[in-house]
Structure 1
Amino acid sequence: MKLLRDTWLIYQQESSLMFRSKTLILFSMAQPISYLVLFAPFLKSTLAGQGANSYADAYRIYVPGLLVAMGLFGGLFAGYGLLQAIRAGIIERCRVTPISRIGLLLGRALMHVTLIVMQGVIITIAAIPLGLRVNPLHLLAAYGMLAMMALMATSISYDLALMVRDQNSLGMMVQTTSQPISLLAGVLIPLSLAPLWIRDLALANPFAWATDGIRALFTGHGGDDVVWQGALIITALAALSVVLSSKLFNRKIA
């Protein structure tokens, strides 16, 4: 109970700070909205072989990849906030309080998860006038997978931040790894269009499984095996990443 209470307290504090920064929220939405409006229309002819006979079909294929990209990039850059909190002495001051260190980390992570899911909701709403139609239950399941993805990416970012303790080094590591991971996840163009060797390589990428699962939900194939497989893989890895981050946090913030 104490861990839940401490996590909730930190989550409330971080969320209140986030919602005060309207500029941050607006600018975080600029890139995905521009991709939604400017990039997706090119996909109708590109994805014709994937069953995209209309712009609505193209958005059902493209929007899930965009959500995964937001979860991946938004989560991996979360480590900057942790480094700023460490340098500002916020983490140091929290150490002298009875707050659980795991709750201190998890509360911050869940704030980022909330922001990413909110962005996903906004992107989905913005795509509705463009023709997107999704089963509400499938949409909720997709948001659940997005939340697990964001939690895993955020925990990984915290691990990197705690190990390097430098914003420049963190930026280089995130930029270097996030691009190939996103490409191998098929976030912009489905991996079914890729050569066989890339599809085989993508099998080791958990974000690719999540992308396929969310894409199946958006296209009305909620009963496909890839849905439960993607959900299982991403949830298990999210739980594992949180445990590893908590141990590293306890060791580094001594």
Structure 2
Amino acid sequence: MTFVRETGLIFWSQLRANLRNPVWVIIGVAQPILYLLLFGPLVKGIAPSLGQGADPWKILTPALIIQIGLFGSAFAGFGIVSELRAGVVERQRVTPAARGALLLGRVLKDMVLLIVQAAILVVVAMAVFGLRPDPLGLVLSVLLISIMAAGLASASYALGLWAKQESTLASVINSISVPVMLLSGILLPMNVGPTWLQNLAKVNPFSHTVDAARALFRGDFGSSDVWVGTVVTVALALVLMTVGARSFARDNA
């Protein structure tokens, strides 16, 4: 129970900081909504090439939720750099609080922000474009993407503790996040690309998360994409969270 309480205290302190300055949450969801409004009609125009009966909004919307999780979580490390500079992390480390709680509280905050942003995006897609996802599939897809975001946020916090400055962190994240996004099929399914690009995308674990989320949105629970994507996403998240937890335990502020 002590670990749970410590995690809750860190979670609430982190969430309050975001509630006092919600501009980044708004910015985080504004870009995907613009993609939905501006890029959605283009996806609708090529819908026939995506397969018979393909719904462009069920293809684009879950991918944009993943985009929110990808970039929002990847840049979470900037917060830890700021806290390092202010001495917040140092003060937390001299307390008896478990190092895992210091990470998990922050990660849970990032997951909650993602869920709120995803809900806003889905509501816009339903109200404006008539998106009608499978209700259970919608919940499961957001849960899966939240797990992905937990792993990414953990890795970003570890990078922040290592880099200790925004310029280094930005260089590393930008070098990784853009290729990962392009090879995950977020904007367009990778099956519309050449074979060599499809094979390259299969190496990207986030492409499996995208495929799983799209299948869940359709309500295709028996699809192999769902099971493969779930296993890959959970396994990667556990590895990255382990790395993040060890960084909090090992590095000195």
Shift of 1:47: 2.6
Cα root mean square deviation, aligned: 1.5
Runs of 4+ in 1 over 4 A off after TM superposition: none
Cα pair 1:155 1:241 within 8 Å, conserved = yes
1:17 partner letter = A
- Structure 1 unaligned runs (5+)? none
Aligned to 1:111: 109
Aligned to 2:139: 140
Cα pair 2:137 2:218 within 8 Å, conserved = no
Cα pair 1:213 1:227 within 8 Å, conserved = yes
Shift of 1:52: 6.9
Once the two structures are superposed, residues 184-213 of structure 1 have per-residue CA deviations (whole angstroms, 9 ceiling, x without a partner) of 100000011111111111112111000000
Aligned to 2:218: 219
Q: Which shifted more, 23-32 or 81-90?
A: 23-32
Q: TM-score, normalised by structure 2?
A: 0.95
1:7 partner letter = T
Once the two structures are superposed, residues 51-72 of structure 1 have per-residue CA deviations (whole angstroms, 9 ceiling, x without a partner) of 3768xx1111111111111111
Shift of 1:22: 2.8
Q: Which shifted more, 20-29 or 94-103?
A: 20-29
Cα pair 2:144 2:230 within 8 Å, conserved = yes
Once the two structures are superposed, residues 63-106 of structure 1 have per-residue CA deviations (whole angstroms, 9 ceiling, x without a partner) of 11111111111110000001111111111111222211210111
What percent of counterpart residues are identical? 37
Q: TM-score, normalised by structure 1?
A: 0.95
Cα pair 1:44 1:52 within 8 Å, conserved = no
Give the whole-Å Cα distance in 2 for the aligned partners of 1:242 and 1:60: 30
1:131 partner letter = G
Instruction: Confirm whether residue 50 of structure 1 aligns to residue 41 of structure 2.
Output: no
Aligned to 1:100: 98
The residue matched to 1:99 in structure 2 has which SS?
coil
Aligned to 1:81: 79
